[in-house]
């Protein structure tokens, strides 16, 4: 395939302020790219995920998203879903209804627009003069996402997908995860699978203080991913503090898929009531805020602020 310029964006997701959330790269026109091409770009960006936008194959979707880590492809991930929708809207991508509908490995995922919020600070790229460089070859129109050009964040939320694995961890698994985090069995108040595709499990440590004190030993982790959660003190702005550890050797700043499954787990245990917010990223210098709510039909929505902070082209 002859390389060509493709629309490209980098989006900050869930941040309480610009550059305080979880970044994701989005290639807005991945048509003609091979699996190897996509994996090479995902490895090169070196972000937790890179999203490649393709024409939808399902008539109910606005576009199809392939979500790749530097090493593999995921059927679903939360902050890439919101980042992809934000980049699509920012680039003038058409939607067929009030919600964005993304097709991915987990099926169709709805993303709703909850408006814009004033944030101040560094504004996202936008405005006619800040359009995508080099002209459009992808059928998208130049033009910013509503509110992105004047320092405001767009608030987007995805409908939480169903869990594909639930229930408590096996004793050996739980002991292995606890040990890898410097915990004893007495430190763990509850544990379970909260997996909607990426493979997350969680240990409830009871308090945000205990969560922030964890020192992980990544090489000792018995599986690929584990999270810890603990309630914030009464009167706090957020319901609980979250941390997410990946055996590849890093702590994820703010994790949408995890928070979707975790919220369902916490609600099922009657520990929280919607609407509420969860906080993540403290130990890695981020300020991630994840908003959880239910609609009148009982669907769980997971959302937060998104900012398209970089727009341009990538040559692939």
49, 103, 154, 251: which is the annotated catalytic residue?
49
- Token representation of residue 287: 């300020």
For 214-249, b/e burial (b = at least 16 CB within 10 A) is bebeeeebeeebbbbbbbbeeeeebbbbbbbbbbee
Q: What is the DSSP string of the chain?
A: ----EEEEEEEEESBSSTTSSEEEEEES--TT--HHHHHHHHHHH-SS-EEEEE--SSTT-SEEEEEE-SS-EES--HHHHHHHHHHHHHTT---SSSSEEEEETTEEEEEEEEEEEE--SSPPS-SGGGPPTT--SSSPPP-PPTTGGGTEEEEEEEEPPPPSB-SPPPHHHHHHHHHHTT--GGG-SEEEE-BSSS--EEEEEEEHHHHHT----GGG-SSSEEEEEEEPPTT-SSSEEEEEEETTTEEES--HHHHHHHHHHHHHTTS--SSEEEEE-GGGT--EEEEEEE-TT--EEEEEEEEEEEEEEEE-
173 is catalytic: no
Q: Are 7 and 135 in contact (CB under 8 A)?
A: no
Q: Are 278 and 292 in contact (CB under 8 A)?
A: yes
Residues in the chain, total = 316
Residues annotated as catalytic (active site), given as ranges: 49
């Amino acid at each position: 395939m002859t390389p060509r310029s493709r629309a490209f964006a980098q989006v900050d997701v869930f941040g309480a302020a610009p550059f305080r959330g979880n970044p994701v790269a989005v290639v807005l026109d991945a048509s003609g790219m091979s699996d190897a091409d996509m994996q090479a770009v995902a490895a090169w960006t070196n972000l937790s995920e890179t999203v490649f936008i393709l024409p939808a194959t399902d008539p109910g979707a606005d576009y199809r998203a392939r979500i790749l880590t530097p090493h593999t492809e995921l059927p679903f991930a939360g902050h890439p879903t919101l980042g992809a929708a934000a980049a699509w809207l920012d680039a003038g991508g058409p939607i067929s209804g009030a919600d964005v509908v993304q097709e991915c490995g987990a099926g169709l995922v709805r993303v709703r627009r909850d408006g814009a919020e004033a944030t101040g600070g560094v504004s996202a790229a936008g405005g006619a003069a800040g359009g995508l460089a080099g002209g459009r070859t992808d059928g998208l129109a130049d033009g910013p996402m509503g509110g992105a050009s004047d320092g405001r964040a767009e608030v987007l939320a995805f409908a939480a997908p169903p869990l594909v694995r639930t229930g408590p961890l096996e004793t050996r698994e739980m002991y292995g995860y606890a040990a890898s985090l410097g915990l004893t069995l007495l430190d763990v108040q509850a544990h379970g699978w909260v997996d909607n595709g990426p493979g997350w499990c969680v240990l409830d440590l009871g308090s945000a203080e205990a969560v922030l004190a964890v020192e992980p030993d990544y090489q000792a982790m018995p599986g690929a991913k584990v999270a810890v959660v603990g309630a914030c003190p009464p009167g706090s702005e957020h319901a609980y503090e979250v941390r997410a550890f990946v055996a590849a050797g890093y702590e994820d700043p703010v994790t949408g898929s995890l928070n979707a499954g975790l919220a369902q787990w916490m609600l099922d245990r009657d520990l929280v009531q919607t609407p509420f917010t969860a906080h993540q990223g403290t130990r890695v210098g981020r300020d991630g805020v994840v908003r959880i709510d239910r609609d009148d039909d009982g669907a769980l929505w997971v959302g937060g602020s998104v900012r398209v902070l970089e727009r341009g082209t990538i040559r692939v």
